Structure formats: structure tokens, C-alpha cells
Amino acid sequence: MTHALVGNMQACIDDARRAILDGEEGPPDPIDFGNLRARLAASERQLPPVYRQRVASPFGQALDQLGSAGFTDMLLRDAAREREAGLVLDVAHAILQNGEAYQGVATDAFQEVVADLYDGFLSAEDRRGVPPPDHDVLSPLVKWGKPQFGPYTWPSDATERLGVEAAIVSLPPAHGRGGLLAWAALAHEAAGHDVVHANDGLESELSDKVRAALSKYPALADYWADRMDETAADVLGILNMGPSAGIGLIGYFRGLRAVFDGVARLSNEASPYDPHPADILRGFLAAEVVRLCPFAGRDAWADAILQETLQDWVNGQLRIAGKPIDQATARSSAEVVAQAIAQSHLTELGGHSLASIQTWRDRDEQIVDALCQALGVPVGLSAELTGGVYAAHVVAAAVRSALRPDADIALIFTRMLRLLKQMHDSNPAWGPLFVMRRGDIARHRIWPGTGTGDVPVFARAPQPARPRAQGHAAPRSRGNVRDAARDLERAAPG
Ligand SMILES: [Zn+2]
């Protein structure tokens, strides 16, 4: 039976599949050194001051040190552009595409989502009492390209090798026009990987917690613990973007599987060489993380995600270390992993748990409900709303709206981009002031943190919802995913 929350899943998968099949490559790699330097000089003037100083300027110095001959030599040595040349060209693309307004509206929308997802966890606003990250860098810069790699990120510990103080997040160019569910996957990259990599010891501490928690499941303990970068990225994505990140992951993977495997089904294969858990386990994990979030609809959403995952379960196919894993064991292990990652108190975070810094609450649900209305009417956001609602809420609302029976996915996508573009245009980190993150100066919200305010309303939308505040101020949400088989988060160069 089709669940009411996900009644339009097939159309959303088809939308993702079309974007994946599109295959547009984006702007060609800038391989002429002199021309690249000239274009970078023009483009960096379009960046906010903080990105000029901490990204464009050190990158220009790194290129100067390399010189024209060294640049050409690098391109020859990394012909596949998967290591140092891939990194250098991607940083260049990020600066050029921002400066030259490639896919202008979509790029600004993409930038806003990624900044919000990253800042949600790392900004001063959300980390009271939590030690600062080891790599205290700017929000990632975005770029389009390399459709064969899907969404991916170069975390800051890779870009630091060029002196660049921001991660880079990439999407296939066709996702600037459609393939909505891939946007939910951005939580996995920017709220997931880029956050995990901002703290040097976080991944290994989480691995230890998971291994210990799974002592009753020896076959699975190493399997999950050895895939902590990817697993923690999934968990963080959902803590930031809520159930949309989980259900979006499932639909997007099905779209990828339809294109690359010929069947729109989550893979049950657990490859020992894949740094990701099997798709099917990621579905179970998503359901259990949603069930841990403190909002009224958590069981309904967790059950919907679980039912979708169970539809793709193939008896006898999941084998780990040569042993068959039954469904009950697979599900129980995912429950243990969800709790260990989200709720363990972590030395790296000064004794806080990930879920205590960020989680999905009823307040987020109220904002998403209001945004679902805004996505259906041709009005902008009120000033109050842009001041209090975050980009991840907009993506969460778009995914949720698109999954409703008979939704117009293309229209929702266009409206999502416009709302995100509007938010980006008012983001102080992209204004003339020297501001690292929106959260660093966002001391005032439309509702107070003590839970007595109203949810922000739309200036001109009909019949806006005004539920009473409950609990604490909403955490800023952010979230993501991507295909296990094609998730080529790049290794650091060298
Ligand atoms: Zn990943």
C-alpha cells in the first residue's frame, strides 16, 4: 500500500532519473594557465570579502607557486582528474562559476543550501559550550560538474593543502534544472562529510562507539564501524534536514540504480571495497535516526521510510564477510548504530552528543508546513521569514511537497530555487561585510529561544499557519545522501 506521505515517490524517482541521465558536463575545465589566471582575477572580485581573502587569494598564490609548467605537468600526471588536478580544477570552477554566474539562480540557491547545512552545525550560534572545530573554515563553495560522480565534496582537510579555507561541494549540472531529490542529498555532503572532517578525531571516536555498541553483532560491528565517514554523514544529514533527507536518499538512490543497474531498487549488495554501507542498510539507518528525533510525526515518518526500504529488501541477498544477514539483524544493527552515532557523548565535542547540538524538532516541522504552502503560491518570503527560516527547511519542504500525490515536481523545484535565491541575497556572509557565517551574526530570530513566539508567516500568502511555539528555538536544519556505488568523495590528493 502506498503510504500517504510518499504517494508520489515514483514520479520523484523519474524526475531524479531524468536529471541523472541528462549528463550535461558543465563548463569545460580551465586548462590554459594564463587564461585561468585572468578569469580568476575577474571572478574573485564578485566574491564576498571573506572568500576573497581566504579562498581566492591563497588559491591564486598556490597557482603562482605551481606556475604554468607545473600546472601543465599536474594535469598530465592526474589525467583522470581524480586527485590533485581534480582538486585544483574544482576550486577554480567554484570561483569562476560564482563569479561568472554560471546557472546564476541555481548556483546561488545551491550555495545557500550548502552554507546553511554546514553552518547549522559549526556556527557560533549552534555550538554554545562545544569546542570549536579543528578546521575552522568558511562554509563550502559550490560548483557544478562531473555528472558521472554524482554529488560530492572535497572536505576542508583536502582543500587546506592549497591554503584554501573552505570545502568544495559539487552537483551534476542537470540538477540546476531538476532532479529535486539530489538536493536532499546535499545534507550528506555539507552537514555530513564536511562537518565530520572539520574535527580531526570525530570519525575515529564515532567508529569506536559503534564498534562497542555492536558487540552483540560481530559480523556487523566492523562493517559499520569501518564505514563511519559515510554512515555518520547520513546521520548528520537527517539530524539537520529531518525525514526529507532520509526519504530523499531512498528515492535518489533508486533513480541512480535505475540508470546504472537497470532496476529502481536499493542495492542489497555489501561490497567489502565500498566505503558506504549497502543501500538497504542506509534505508534502515535513516528510519531509525528519524525515530530518535523529538518531533510528533517521527514514528509516521520512520515507518514510511522503513516501509519503502522493506519494499526493496531481497531475501538472502545481503551478505557481510561472506555470511548472510537476516532482516531482523540488519534492522537491529541499524537501530544500534543510529543511537550510538546520534546520542553518544563525545570527547571531541566536549562531552556533547551530535543530537544535542542539532536535531529535528516540532518547530522545524511547523516551518516546513508553512513553507509547503509558500511553495504553492507565487509570492516571495517576508523579511521576517528570511530572517528566521533556513535553506534546509526549504529543501525539506520541497521534497515533502513533491512526494505528495499528484504534485507538480517541476513547479515545486522552480519555486524552491526562487525562495533559496531570495534567502541567499539576504545572507550577510555574501554581503559586503566581513562575515564568516550567517550564524555568526544571526543573534535575532523571529521567534525567541524560550519558546513563546510565533512561527514566522508569509507576508501575502493566504491563510498562513500560526501554530504556537513549542519547546526551544528550532535548530537550524540541514541534510544529504548519495549513491554508494558512485559516491566518489575524493580522497585527498597524494
Ligand atoms: Zn558520502
> Ligand 1 mean position to 187 CA, how many Å?
10
How far does the centroid of ligand 1 lie from the alpha carbon of residue 354, in Å?
18
Q: Angle 388-45-29 (CA atoms, 0-180°, nearest 5)?
A: 100
Q: Which pLDDT value is given to residue 304?
A: 97
Considering the domain boundaries, does residue 245 fall inside one?
Answer: yes
Cα–Cα distance measured from residue 235 to residue 52, given in angstroms and rounded to the nearest whole number: 33
Q: Give tens-digit pLDDT for 177-209.
A: 999 999 999 999 888 888 888 888 999 999 999
Cα(370) to centroid(ligand 1), Å: 30
pLDDT score of 389: 84
The reply to whether 377 falls in a domain is yes
Cell matching residue 201: 578525531
Residue with cell 589566471: 37
Task: Look at the block and give the residue holding cell 504556537.
Answer: 468
> What distance in Å separates the CA atoms of residue 316 and residue 331, rounded to the nearest whole number?
14
pLDDT of residue 219: 83
Q: Give tens-digit pLDDT for 142-178.
A: 999 999 888 998 988 889 999 999 999 999 999 999 9
Q: How far is ligand 1, taken at its centre, from the CA of residue 185, in Å?
A: 9
Q: Structural domain tally of the chain?
A: 1
What residues have a C-beta under 5 A from ligand 1, the ion? 230, 487, 489
- Using CA atoms, how far apart are residues 372 and 93, in angstroms rounded to an integer? 33
Q: What is the pLDDT of residue 383?
A: 55
CA–CA separation, 468 and 454 (whole Å): 6
Distance 152 CA to ligand 1 centre (A): 7
User: What is the grid cell recorded at 464?
Assistant: 498562513
Does 34 reside within a domain? no
Neighbours of 269 (CB within 10 A): 16
Find the 69 Cα to ligand 1 centroid distance in Å: 34
267 grid coordinates:
542495492
Q: How far is the CA of 230 from the centre of ligand 1 (A)?
A: 5
Q: How far is the CA of 279 from the centre of ligand 1 (A)?
A: 12
Ligand 1 centroid from CA 186, angstroms:
10
210-230 burial, b at 16+ Cβ within 10 Å, e below that, comes to: bbebbeebebbbbbbbbbbbb
Q: Give me the pLDDT at residue 430, please.
A: 80
116 in a structural domain: yes
Q: Quick one: pLDDT at residue 384?
A: 53
CA of 297 to the centre of ligand 1 (A): 27
91 belongs to a structural domain: no
Structural domain includes residue 164: no
What's the CA gap between 464 and 361, in Å, rounded? 20
Cα(197)–Cα(203) distance, rounded to whole angstroms? 8
Domain contains 467: yes
The amino acid sitting at 198 is: A
CA of 457 to the centre of ligand 1 (A): 35
189 C-alpha vs ligand 1 centroid, how far in Å?
6
| Spans of the chain, pLDDT less than 50 | 1, 124, 439-494
Residue 313, CB-side half-sphere exposure with 13 Å CA sphere: 20
User: Is residue 404 in some structural domain?
Assistant: yes
Q: Which residues of 419-447 are buried (b: 16+ CB within 10 A; e: fewer)?
A: bbbbbbeebebbeeeebbbbbeebeebbb
Cα(489) to centroid of ligand 1, in Å?
6
- Ligand 1 centroid–CA 429 distance in Å is 26
State pTM to two decimals: 0.86
Domain that holds residue 235: 1-26+105-133+176-494
147 CA to centre of ligand 1 in angstroms: 15
Strands 166-171 and 152-154: antiparallel
Counted residue by residue, the chain has a size of 494
